[in-house]
Amino acid sequence: MDTAVSEAEYLLDRLESLLSLYIENSDTNRINRAKAGEMVRIADDTVDCLLRAFDASARLKGAFHPFMGQASLSVKGQANEVGRFLQVDGASHALDEPLLGLDPDQAIVTKLVEGPLLDFGGIGKGYALDRIADLFQEWEHGTGLLESAGSTYLAMGAPGNAGGWDLDIGLEGQPIETVSLKPGQALASSGELFQGSHVIDPRDSKEEQAWSRSYAHAENAAFADAGSTAALLLNRQELGSIVADDHSISFALYSEDSDNRFGDFFVNKT
């Protein structure tokens, strides 16, 4: 087990070095600094995370988008942290056109539009958990609950005769219910506890959250991570439409005066 843990720690460090917006020579920032028409060779993990991010954006009706770097840095007051190696102009950029060309087989991206900054912050924690789970499975360590930053969970096998891993959900400091996360399922949450109202809508650049706390349950941690971010911005009709089209994701949303559930996991839970 010690060897598997050491490899997991190495994998985490490597993923951060590839995907972080705050590391100068990460694949993320090599893409961000590229000029229009320039090709950039990237690691396979970066390819995989890009593909998952674009897939999540499509499945979440555009309420999640991986090119929200300017808005994220601005609302968090972190533009100065990357200013020495990244141009952060604070301007709003159109995100409804192709920004990258991607050749997954060759692991090459072609920059199509300059300006929007790639940021895996809304999906990276979940992607890392998915990769670590794969690693532990390779080492035949199949029991455990993986957790990142207290907000994203991925269940592997449960101990003993337990059917799953019990987790409390609700508003900060106010657990409202307990859900059981079965092996192979993921749960992610987003809200105002650590960074306040920090999510910008990719569709209209507005900073208007519909909910105080969101939870998303999905078949992998990357999609759950992106789903919980997007859910903060979605109204009831939009959430209902997403789960009607995609039965693999479910949402629970909480505010001071209401809570709502969408999708099989939360609506039909026992």
**Is residue 218 in some structural domain?**
yes
Query: Tell me: the pLDDT tens digits for 88-131?
Result: 886 667 787 899 999 999 999 999 999 999 999 999 999 999 99
Domain final residue pick, 111, 131, 152: 111
Query: Tell me: the pLDDT tens digits for 202-253?
Result: 776 565 667 889 999 999 999 999 999 999 999 999 999 999 999 999 999 9
Dihedral sign of CA atoms 41, 26, 17, 195 in order: negative
**Is residue 164 in some structural domain?**
yes
**Is residue 136 in some structural domain?**
no
- Asked whether the beta carbons of 189 and 149 are under 8 A apart, the reply is no
* CATH assignment at residue 233: 3.10.520.10
Q: How far out from the chain centre does Cα 222 lie? A: 5
**Is residue 159 in some structural domain?**
yes
**Is residue 137 in some structural domain?**
no
Q: Is the pTM of this model over 0.85?
A: yes
Q: How many domains does the chain have?
A: 2
Cβ-in-10-Å burial (0-12, 13-18, 19+) of 224 comes to: buried
**Residue 101 lies in domain:** 2-111
Domain final residue pick, 111, 131, 166: 111
Question: Within this chain, do residues 97 and 198 fall inside the same structural domain, yes or no?
Answer: no
**Is residue 73 in some structural domain?**
yes
